Structure 1
């Protein structure tokens, strides 16, 4: 699908499918994580520090998405792909950092494995985390391998 979209269509897809979605996902995931950490503090499976980690991820991701929305995407939409080499390089480095943050998320949650006796809130949290992780990986891959590659050709 993505190979057939124009660069502008691809950018619009990224904004609606991923940027808007991450902005919906993270506040709810942070709320759920805080609840699970409060209710299950002391449980050996409790993902202690997860809410704070998600909040850090939210801040980093928001900053990253704003740079794309305000600087990089407008450059690409104006046909300045080759001149966008430096911003693209920075975005790729930040994508690597998002990948490291996802690794930390996996460590905190035992690979997003819901404990057997988990309550509904915990199950909802981990289901949402899996969806967020999958979305973020797809988002990064689409930008790195399709949008940025096309822009620099």
Structure 2
């Protein structure tokens, strides 16, 4: 994710950011993973004897689908409503951050199973589509996690403008 996107969301209300994350990432992941799982199973079935076939990828994507769906439901039903009201519950946030680490490990396993998304020279159109889709999923997941970890999950401290917490700099 580019720094400009992080900066773009840095000062937006949490409610807007939550709505963006659900629409841009959660809904997209819910479409991506089932499609990619089906493509992976097809490639494993048709090209299972090929030395570069991504054996076990369909099952891994199915596991990811279930884990990610559970993760997104917890965010949507528990954490996001709190964050939208500027409540930062440290327990649920730390659980989501730990799950983000698991998602990163899942990405590393995709890379391992696909030889870092390296297609064989004789890859069919479906195999090529699978790896393009996996590259997009990986980018989307990384962007999703970075936006949540660096913007949404970070409590914004109000900047004092007057009163006892305000210092003009000359009292040091």
TM-score range, shorter chain: over 0.9
Distance 1:60 1:138 in 2: 18
CA contact (8 A) 2:14 2:85 kept: no
2:59 equivalent to 1:46: no
CA contact (8 A) 1:34 1:51 kept: yes
What's the counterpart of residue 36 of structure 2? 29
| Aligned-residue offset at 1:79 | 2.6
What's the counterpart of residue 16 of structure 1? 23
Q: Which runs of 4+ in 1 moved over 3 A?
A: 150-153
Question: How many residues end up aligned between the 2 structures?
Answer: 151
| Aligned-residue offset at 1:42 | 1.3
**TM-score normalized by the length of structure 2:** 0.85
CA contact (8 A) 2:14 2:86 kept: no
2:91 equivalent to 1:76: no
For CA contacts below 8 A with separation 6 or more, give which structure has more relative contact order: 1
**Which segments of 5 or more consecutive residues in structure 1 lack a partner in the other structure?**
none
Higher relative helix content = 1
CA deviations on 1:125-145 (whole Å, 9 max, x unpaired) are 000000000000000000001
What's the counterpart of residue 107 of structure 2? 102
Distance 1:96 1:17 in 2: 20
CA deviations on 1:15-65 (whole Å, 9 max, x unpaired) are 000000000101100010010000001111000000000000000000000
2:65 equivalent to 1:58: yes
2:145 equivalent to 1:140: yes
**Which segments of 5 or more consecutive residues in structure 2 lack a partner in the other structure?**
1-7, 159-172
CA deviations on 1:75-94 (whole Å, 9 max, x unpaired) are 1122322xx10000000000
CA deviations on 1:107-149 (whole Å, 9 max, x unpaired) are 0000011111100000000000000000000000000011001
Distance 1:16 1:76 in 2: 16
> CA 1:92 to 1:152, structure 2 compared with 1: closer, same or farther past 3 Å?
farther
**TM-score normalized by the length of structure 1:** 0.95
